[in-house]
């Protein structure tokens, strides 16, 4: 396992439509293990492959509980359907530095995907788990949570980011 570098907005790979996975091989397993390690080190609760510079349809989502630390689910080629209800809650993103904002999401979703071996997965997700999956699947479509904010909030963030990046130079 190895840590990978998390790319940050406005890196163009975050805007790429991720390619579906067709081969379930060791390279994919290594990518997933690296992504999980990178997510926990950050620390974060979800990570999409675009965020480590790989525009392929893979996400990892934390499922740790008090009893089982560092447990995560891998979703390959995930699809969301049957969104129900709506909840507005705060989100952040490892690829969008110093930005937290309220985003509206479905409260409940149906998810179909493959696991890292290529086996089909199908389940319902609710609340926080559903929110993370929606956020990560957005990444695979080249969408960031800031795209879901008002244009005013987005403009303010872009201004703030410009200042932060200038200060870092
Ligand atoms: Ni994110």
Catalytic sites, residue numbers: 136
HSE-up of 11 (CA within 13 Å, CB side)?
Answer: 17
Question: How open is the CA angle 120-123-112, to the nearest 5 degrees?
Answer: 45
Residues 72, 62 contacting (CB under 8 angstroms): yes
Q: How far is the CA of 159 from the centre of ligand 1 (A)?
A: 20
Q: Strand 58-62 to strand 87-93: parallel, antiparallel, or no bridges (unpaired)?
A: unpaired
pLDDT by residue for the chain (169 residues), tens digit each? 799 999 999 999 999 999 999 999 999 999 999 999 999 999 999 999 999 999 999 999 999 988 888 899 999 999 999 999 999 999 999 999 999 999 999 999 999 999 999 999 999 999 999 999 999 999 999 999 999 999 999 999 999 999 999 998 8
Q: How far is the CA of 108 from the centre of ligand 1 (A)?
A: 19
């Amino acid at each position: 396992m190895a840590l990978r570098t998390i790319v940050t907005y406005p890196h163009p790979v975050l805007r790429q439509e991720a390619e579906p996975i067709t081969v379930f091989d060791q390279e994919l397993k290594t990518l997933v293990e690296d992504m999980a390690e990178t997510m926990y080190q950050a620390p974060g609760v979800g990570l999409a492959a675009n965020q480590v510079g790989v525009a392929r349809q893979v996400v990892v989502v934390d499922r740790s509980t008090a009893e089982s630390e560092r447990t995560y689910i891998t979703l390959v080629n995930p699809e969301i359907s049957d969104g129900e209800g709506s909840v507005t809650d705060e989100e952040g993103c490892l690829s969008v530095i110093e930005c937290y904002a309220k985003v509206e999401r479905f409260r409940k979703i149906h998810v179909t995907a493959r696991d890292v071996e290529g086996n089909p997965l199908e389940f319902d997700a609710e609340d926080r788990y559903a929110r993370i999956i929606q956020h990560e699947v957005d990444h695979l479509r080249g969408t960031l949570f800031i795209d879901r904010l008002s244009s005013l909030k987005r403009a303010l963030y872009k201004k703030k980011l410009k200042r932060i990046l200038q200060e870092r130079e």
